[in-house]
């Protein structure tokens, strides 16, 4: 990892923790995790729990909050959706975009992800854009082509790529207990890095996501082009998430 890119530890809670359990989580996590200036910590609670998280985190500038999804429109008749502007006003500073579950379960297309990325940037939030291949695509030798296609649409949609964070999530490793080998993860991150270099001179962070645990975080962060991790299930527990955050990068 180069010194230009500050390590990022991000936790995606998915559909876990109501406001009451969110408060309890942060009370425990903040007691375990001392403030650090050499690390960015981001938590993505369910939107309904964002306010509870914001109140407990308070002035801890080392812990940032985000939302798991936004609509690409700023307002309108979109029942059940929130806009990036709403998320910003509620205290979010980041937004996940294009998580594999949004793509796989809710039918989001590459074009949808590009539109959402543009909306997130316009609202002043930082998009964490998720890309990754399925097991079938990897077995067919198409992993790089798939990730290149997903990322290309985003890069074509934004005027300045320097405001992005990218998360590589091999779909076959999410919630399965399987993790890409350090060499495989590094190879894909290097490929993404090369693609980003043609679009921006900025040192854009690239995170790895997929069954990240305290036991494998150090090995992943030791890879040259892995700048951090996007944690799923292990981020829901304050002790395991604090252990991941304590890993030397």
The answer to whether position 1 is within a domain reads: no
The answer to whether position 146 is within a domain reads: yes
Average pLDDT over residues 135-146: 93
The CATH number that applies at residue 195 is 3.20.20.70
Q: Model confidence over 182-218: pLDDT tens digits?
A: 899 999 999 999 999 988 877 899 999 988 999 999 9
Tell which residue, 41, 10, 7, 13, has the closest CA to residue 129: 10
Active site residues: 99, 169
Number of folded domains that form the chain: 1
The answer to whether position 44 is within a domain reads: yes
The answer to whether position 168 is within a domain reads: yes
The answer to whether position 153 is within a domain reads: yes
65 pLDDT above the threshold of 90: yes
Domain range for 138 is 8-245
Q: What is the pLDDT of residue 203?
A: 86
The answer to whether position 2 is within a domain reads: no
What distance in Å separates the CA atoms of residue 45 and residue 223, rounded to the nearest whole number? 28
Q: What is the pLDDT of residue 2?
A: 41
């Amino acid at each position: 990892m180069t010194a230009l890119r500050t390590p990022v530890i991000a936790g995606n809670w998915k559909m876990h923790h109501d406001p009451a359990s969110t408060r309890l989580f942060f009370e425990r996590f903040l007691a375990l995790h001392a403030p650090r200036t050499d690390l960015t910590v981001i938590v993505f609670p369910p939107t309904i729990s964002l306010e509870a998280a914001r109140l407990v985190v308070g002035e801890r500038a080392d812990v940032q909050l985000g939302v798991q999804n936004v609509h690409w429109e700023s307002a309108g008749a979109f029942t059940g959706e929130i806009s990036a502007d709403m998320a910003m006003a509620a205290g979010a500073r980041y937004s996940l975009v294009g998580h594999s579950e949004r793509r796989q379960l809710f039918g989001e297309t590459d074009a949808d992800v590009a539109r959402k990325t543009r909306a997130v940037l316009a609202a002043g939030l930082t998009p964490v854009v998720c890309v990754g291949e399925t097991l079938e695509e990897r077995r067919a030798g198409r992993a790089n082509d798939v990730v290149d296609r997903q990322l290309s649409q985003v890069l074509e949609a934004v005027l300045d790529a320097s405001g992005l964070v990218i998360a590589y999530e091999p779909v076959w490793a999410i919630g399965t207990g399987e993790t890409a080998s350090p060499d495989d993860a590094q190879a894909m991150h290097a490929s993404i890095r090369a693609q980003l270099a043609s679009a921006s001179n900025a040192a854009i962070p690239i995170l790895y996501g997929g069954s990240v645990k305290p036991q494998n975080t150090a090995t992943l962060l030791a890879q040259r082009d892995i700048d951090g991790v996007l944690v799923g299930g292990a981020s829901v527990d304050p002790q395991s998430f604090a252990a991941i955050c304590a890993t030397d990068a």
